[in-house]
Amino acid sequence: MHLGLIGYGNIAHTLMGVLANEGAKPSKVTVLCTPDHVGETRARLARDFDGQGQVVAETGALIDAMPDLVVECAGHEGVRQHATAVLRAGIETVIVSIGSLADQPLHEEVLDAARAGSTRFILPAGAIGGIDVLSALKPSGIEAVSYTGRKPPGAWKGTPADKMHDLDALAVETVIFSGNAREAAIQYPKNANVAATLALAGLGFEKTGVRLVADPGVSGNVHEYSVRSAAAEFTVRIEGKPSPDNPKTSVTTVYSVAREIFNRCREQAI
Ligand SMILES: NC(=O)c1ccc[n+]([C@@H]2O[C@H](COP(=O)([O-])OP(=O)(O)OC[C@H]3O[C@@H](n4cnc5c(N)ncnc54)[C@H](O)[C@@H]3O)[C@@H](O)[C@H]2O)c1
């Protein structure tokens, strides 16, 4: 498989390690990074991957390379600047920065692009699980979905919570955000992907309740959500270990993306 990657940060780097460990090494990897990161990314990719690898800095160059599958793991700008064009070119794309779809015009653009390219985009479960049950229960009539994202105070650095609280001094759990999934995804773009994933699978951005908590009592990223529907009531709680390179990202996200690739690798010789 020729794998395309938009962004080469923590998720992409860890993903390459997981693929190698699982014997699912791609035959070729093309990475699209920002122009100022080309040299550094080339060196990182060479350390992580001993096959045919190339680094490009323009969307057109990624499309021209014709990867079999592209994984966007660059953040909201990565979706806006590149993923839509890649889809329009007919290349199947895994969108990891799901929170970006809280921007309604961008969500519509992504849908249009996939239609125009006669392809599809895949939203991985990412940091959580149970999404299959939530989306399956949709026709039964979902009454409520409420999500609480709990992380150590340090994981909220660089977010609006940093300006409202002295995160280093927090001694008790503190709710830093309470609202709906759309507001959460816009105000906390790097931390609200789970809220966006639940919203898209269930009740939508306006009706999905979100609480974000800075908790000195936890060491991992705790994602907990409850669903009430006519067919069932359930609660899912996952304590994901933070990625060593980026404490905002649960390492479970990488395994979820890797699974999408394993599924495709079985369909074709790697
Ligand atoms: N779905 C989920 O559950 C979930 C969980 C965690 C993270 N995420 C998303 O995944 C994204 C990546 O996470 P990470 O931990 O790898 O972050 P990271 O900051 O370690 O890596 C992001 C990389 O993308 C690059 N980049 C940024 N803008 C770009 C652009 N416009 N074009 C090309 N490259 C660009 C950066 O230089 C960086 O190398 C996050 O921003 C977040 O939105 C999703």
Q: What pTM was computed for the model?
A: 0.94
Question: 82 an active-site residue?
Answer: no
Residue 157 CA to residue 251 CA, distance in Å, equals 18
CATH, domain range 131-240: 3.30.360.10
Tell me which DSSP letter residue 22 carries: T
Per-residue pLDDT of the chain in tens (270 residues, 90 and over written 9): 999 999 999 999 999 999 999 888 899 999 999 999 999 999 999 999 999 999 999 999 999 999 999 999 999 999 999 999 999 999 999 999 999 999 999 999 999 999 999 999 999 999 999 999 999 999 999 999 999 999 999 989 999 999 999 999 999 999 999 999 999 988 998 778 999 999 999 999 999 999 999 999 998 899 999 999 999 999 999 998 888 777 777 889 999 999 999 988 765 543
Q: Is 97 in the pocket of ligand 1 (CB under 6 A)?
A: yes
In the chain, where does the domain assigned CATH 3.30.360.10 lie?
131-240
CA-to-CA dists, residue 234 to 20, 133, 179, 193, 237, angstroms: 36, 9, 21, 20, 10
Q: Is 200 in the pocket of ligand 1 (CB under 6 A)?
A: no
Q: At what angle do helices 10-21 and 252-265 cross, to 10 degrees?
A: 50
By C-alpha distance, which of 107, 57, 66, 106 is closest to 89?
66
Residue 114 CA to residue 102 CA, distance in Å, equals 17
58, 190, 241, 256, best to mutate for ligand 1 pocket (most atoms within 8 Å of CB): 190
Q: Is 246 in the pocket of ligand 1 (CB under 6 A)?
A: yes
By C-alpha distance, which of 129, 143, 110, 107 is closest to 227?
143
User: Ligand 1 centroid to 229 CA: how many Å?
Assistant: 33
By C-alpha distance, which of 102, 26, 111 is closest to 71?
26
Q: Is 37 in the pocket of ligand 1 (CB under 6 A)?
A: yes
**Contact status, residue 116 vs residue 88, Cβ threshold 8 Å:** yes
User: Ligand 1 centroid to 256 CA: how many Å?
Assistant: 15
Residue nearest to atom 8 of ligand 1 (CA): 97
pLDDT score recorded for residue 266: 61
CATH topology classification for 2-126+252-265:
Rossmann fold (3.40.50)
Exactly one of 13, 76, 82, 223 is catalytic; name it. Answer: 223
Residue with tokens 């350390």: 47
User: Ligand 1 centroid to 158 CA: how many Å?
Assistant: 15
In the chain, where does the domain assigned CATH 3.40.50.720 lie?
2-126+252-265
